[in-house]
Amino acid sequence: MKVLVGEDGFKVESSSQKGVFYKVKPEKPECSCPAFRFRYLRQAVVCKHVQAVQEYLHQRKGKVYEKILGFVKEIGEVDAVTLLERFGEEDVNELLRRGELLESRGKIRLLE
């Protein structure tokens, strides 16, 4: 399913009507398609457009994590501030929380 990322958020193309796009807010979740309004409000089931965006975000996150882990692996031990500045606090902290990265005395390295 085609997921477009624009300034005003995510849009996913309808699978039955080419050229028709629905606006998706994955964090709410919310979608402008009729199925969402009908099903989510009644059964708390998200539509395939919301699922497509969630999947897209999941894959993109995976790539970011791979990049961070690859960077640390290459260097061996990275200054924590450098890593946070380069990749952002949120993603680095998540890897620390998961235990894939270890921090000691201001240095970050991979879990061996």
Shortest gap between Cβ of 1 and Zn ion (angstroms)? 10
| Binding-site string for Zn ion from residue 71 to residue 100, where x marks contact by CB under 5 A and - marks none | ------------------------------
Residue 10 or 22: the one with the smaller Cβ distance to Zn ion is 22
Amino acid type, 88: G
Cα distances from 62 to residues 2, 17, 66, in angstroms, run: 19, 31, 6
Among 26, 47, 72, 108, binds Zn ion (CB under 5 A): 47
What does the alpha-carbon distance between residue 21 and residue 92 come to, in Å, rounded to a whole number? 34
